[in-house]
Structure 1
Amino acid sequence: MKPKVAFVCVGNSCRSQMAEGFAKHYGKDLIEVYSAGTDIAKEINPLAIEVMKEVGIDMSSHFPKTIFDIPKEVDFLITMGCGVECPFIPCKVKEDWGLPDPAGKPIEEFRKVRDEIEKKVLVLIERIKKEYYREGK
């Protein structure tokens, strides 16, 4: 069974969506990936879609989801740094990535946040490989 990873923020319109995009791209055969928000936006931020397209990830079909749209229990619960107080979601590991929200800022800020998310997702996937996929496990 693949480990479940959920990325959660308030609107599920930018950071958590980018994290979902990178995690699905880099961890496609290793993990189940979800993203959600506690007070979802009406749509994905168009600049988030644009900056992800710049790195070859198409989020045009993504849409905001609530925490009730993800599994009731996950292995990794990652919040984006927006002070989200999630209703209790059972998980083995909970982390807050402390990322600034680029909403309302120039596209350069979206690129900075995107690049930071990519680095963090790659580290997370390496960690999951070591913890869940080492020989004999």
Structure 2
Amino acid sequence: MTSNVLILCTHNSARSVLGEAMLNHWAAKLGKNVRAFSAGSAPGGDLNPFAVEVLTNVGIDVSGYRSKSWDEFAGKDAPSMRVVITVCDNAAAETCPYWPGSPVKVHWGYADPSDARGGDDGKRIAFELTRQAIGYRMLQLLALPFETMSDADLQQALTVISGS
């Protein structure tokens, strides 16, 4: 059975998209039955061009990615999530909708690379470093034996990965 993971950030244009893309990329490369989705509480409508750039630079096709509302994943016809990860502090502080299946929730916060100093070059560096950091955590997530873990064990393992 596929383990679905929903990655949330307020605008669903940068960090959550990086998480979705990196988790799907690594899951495919490693042959893991894990599928990532991303969404936001107030989606911006467009993907951040720096997020698209750093993903494209490492060979990840982003043509199917879009900024979308978390409401798409709260309905009865939505895929059942095993895990919900917030990647920005704003989304972590918001009241989330009810998620079908009562998934395990964890916060893995990252600074907003859109706020980086140094103009476009500074933003490119910040986005690449954020992509790498998120990608590393996604590799740690994929090392977990989802199929055999209880929700409590999964919660504990995800909290350890968060560094909290």
TM-score normalised by the shorter chain: which range applies?
0.7 to 0.9
Which of 1 and 2 has greater Rg? Answer: 2
2:99 alignment partner in structure 1: 89
Cα offset, 1:22, TM superposition? 1.0
- Distance in 1 (CA, whole Å) between partners of 2:97 and 2:12 is 15
With structure 2 as the length reference, what TM-score do the two structures score?
0.73
1:101 alignment partner in structure 2: 112
3-state DSSP of counterpart to 2:134: helix
2:146 alignment partner in structure 1: 131
2:127 alignment partner in structure 1: 110
Q: Percent of aligned pairs with the same residue?
A: 30
Larger helix proportion of the pair: 2
Question: Are residues 1:49 and 2:59 paired?
Answer: no
Cα offset, 1:25, TM superposition? 1.1
- The count of corresponding residues between Structure 1 and Structure 2 is 132
Residue deviations 1:7-59, cap 9 Å, x none? 01100000111111111111135112211000000200000000111111121
Misfit runs of 4+, over 3 Å: none
2:81 pairs, out of 52, 74, 78, with 74
Q: Which runs of 5+ in 2 are unaligned?
A: 117-122, 150-164
- Distance in 2 (CA, whole Å) between partners of 1:48 and 1:66 is 18
Amino acid at match of 2:81: V
Q: Which runs of 5+ in 1 are unaligned?
A: none
Higher RCO (Cα < 8 Å, 6 or more apart) = 1
With structure 1 as the length reference, what TM-score do the two structures score?
0.87
Of 108-117 and 76-85, the range deviating more from structure 2: 76-85
1:21 alignment partner in structure 2: 21
Cα offset, 1:124, TM superposition? 0.8
- Distance in 2 (CA, whole Å) between partners of 1:67 and 1:57 is 23
Residue deviations 1:67-110, cap 9 Å, x none? 12223641100000223122232533111001111114321111
3-state DSSP of counterpart to 1:50: helix
3-state DSSP of counterpart to 1:23: helix
- Distance in 1 (CA, whole Å) between partners of 2:50 and 2:130 is 12
- Distance in 2 (CA, whole Å) between partners of 1:73 and 1:125 is 18
Larger strand proportion of the pair: 1
